[in-house]
Amino acid sequence: MSTAPTYEIDVARFWADPYPDLARMRKEAPIAFVPQLGSTIFTRRDDIFSQEKRIDLFSSHQPAGLMNRLMGHNMMRKDGEAHMSERAAMFPSVSPRAVRATWLKKFQAHADRILDELAPSGSADLVKALALPLSAECLKDITGLTNMRYQDMDAWSQAMIDGIANYTGDAAVEARCNAATAGIDAAIDDMVPVLEKHPDTSILSVLLSAGQPMESVRANVKLAISGGQNEPRDAMSGTVWALLTHPAQLRLLREGRAKWIDVFEEYTRWIAPIQMSPRRVAKPCSYGGVDFEPDERVFFMFGSANRDEACFAEPDSFDITRDTSKSIAFGAGPHYCAGAFASRAMVADVALPSIFARLKNLRLAEREPARIGGWAFRGLLNLQVAWDVS
């Protein structure tokens, strides 16, 4: 075990709101062992930014890790050439060029269709009625699993991210994750012959065309689903909620003094949908006055880094005029999120402008307050809103 000081948490309270504990750790014990999580966690932004790149010390390769065991050995859990070769194979599907040339039009078509159906109702839970299906329909196209229902895409993604964050060992959570990965494998099996005959720009298609082993294809498609559904889903609903609860920020947008991409970047700094990334200590080492032993588990807390007082003034405030250049919502170094370009386009270029253009006088509904939760992955659980129907 590392020589880091111990910091105890209440797991339920940490899930509901991790930021008070993280702020205290940044101040008192920036590298701390949390026994309830069985891990030593890094909480300061500059420590995380520098050490996430030290794959010789803090490796992504975690043979016994939850993600490897439950989803297969994907590129996120590989380092060096093994990681870069698989990342390069996927890149043609999620590159800025692919997003502009192929996915933006499809994203907009899904948004228009869903909003056409939703607009006459005058009220909805925006998480379930828009963010969830829009993110899932877009992800079906990107992954190539167009044979899935959007409901299954969301449920199976959630089951996987719950499974890989199941550090308390809940058997029911693991069972749901196993059922989800089996469903995805079946969907992949159905689509392989279709995409071999009619290749396209989807992840499944480009990985097959690159000759990647089927075991790796499956693992990397599951990786894309595990992060590719919840991150844009939670960013969509979260940014709407943030703007509706901060009307002065919304006015800046309407007056042309800020852009939708500013909202996206500030929201993902303020409440990073992906709050944490795990690492394995590769060899004996010391950092920040703490000694580490091989095979210990370390968590880099992105959600804490993005509220580090040393890097962001008034970090707990939502301010779309802020300089977010030090945000690491998508990670740093070689494991920077491959889907970041697609996520930005889906939320900032399509979802947000479409929502506020189509749903006139959009406002929070008073009957049910928004709830938010999660410490490894964090997002709104509901968002009841209303708008004018002309």
Quick: pLDDT tens for 177-202: 999 999 999 999 999 999 999 999 99
Supply the range of the domain harboring residue 173.
Answer: 11-386
The CATH number covering residue 167 comes to 1.10.630.10
Overall domain count for the chain: 1
The per-residue pLDDT of the chain, averaged, comes to 93
Judge whether 367 lies within some domain: yes
Judge whether 329 lies within some domain: yes
Judge whether 3 lies within some domain: no
pTM: 0.92
pLDDT of 334 over the 80 cut: no
Range with lowest mean pLDDT among 26-30, 128-132, 339-343? 339-343
Judge whether 23 lies within some domain: yes
pLDDT tens-digit profile of 48-75? Answer: 999 998 989 999 887 777 777 778 787 7
pLDDT of 78 over the 80 cut: no
**What are the Cα distances from residue 324, in Å, to 175, 208, 260, 266, 305?**
39, 37, 14, 6, 12
Judge whether 6 lies within some domain: no
Judge whether 2 lies within some domain: no
Alpha-carbon distance 205 to 143, whole Å?
A: 8
**What are the Cα distances from residue 136, in Å, to 28, 196, 270?**
41, 23, 24
